[in-house]
Amino acid sequence: MIEHRLIERMLEIVRREISSMKDTRDADPVFIDTVVDFVRTYADRTHHGKEEDILFKELAGKKMSASDQALMEELVEEHKFGRKTVKALVDAKNEYAAGNREAVSAIIEQLEILARFYPEHIRKEDKVFFPSTEKLFSQEEQDAMLEAFGEFDRKMIHEKYAALVEQLKR
């Protein structure tokens, strides 16, 4: 849940930028790239990655309630929705950078979708899913997952920049 606080802080910045874009009808492609990198690397690959690759896999071996199981499936679909929205944001930014000034509307639209989506997604996790499913794990299991989360985080920076170097070699 600590990671959610940083995502919320980024969303505040995104909302300010949306307001500015609406006023100026102009977009900053570097800002968009920064938001995309943050969402893809931190919110999705790092945060959602730990949920999907560690927490949800551990929960698969537990006897969850039908409502928790349904909510977990919903959260996975929401993660996919977030990825799709970021792709649409990148596409709009690329159109804008190629000279299509009308694409600023699509950029604003995708940023607004993200700014509305994440707070509700975070609320579901923080207030409903995490408190309910946490009870399914012993303290030892929770400690082991925290250790696995830390190891996941340690690998992320290396994964990100190894991929960057491979991409730049082409």
Output 121 or 155, whichever has higher pLDDT: 121
Q: Alpha-carbon dihedral of residues 143, 147, 148, 154, nearest 10 degrees?
A: 160
What is the percent of the chain with per-residue pLDDT over 70, rounded to a whole number?
A: 100
- Token look-up 């919110």 returns 43
The whole-angstrom separation of Cα 159 and Cα 148 is 16
Q: Is the pLDDT of residue 158 over 80?
A: no
How many domains in the chain?
A: 1
Predicted confidence at residue 167, as pLDDT, reads 79
Query: pTM score, two decimals?
Result: 0.86
Range of the domain at 129: 2-169
Q: Which pLDDT tens digit goes with each residue over 89-129?
A: 999 999 999 999 999 999 999 999 999 999 999 999 999 99
The whole-angstrom separation of Cα 127 and Cα 147 is 23
For residue 12, name the pLDDT band (cuts at 50, 70, 90): very high
- What's the CATH code of the domain at 47? 1.20.120.520
* Residue 3 CB-half CA count within 13 A: 20
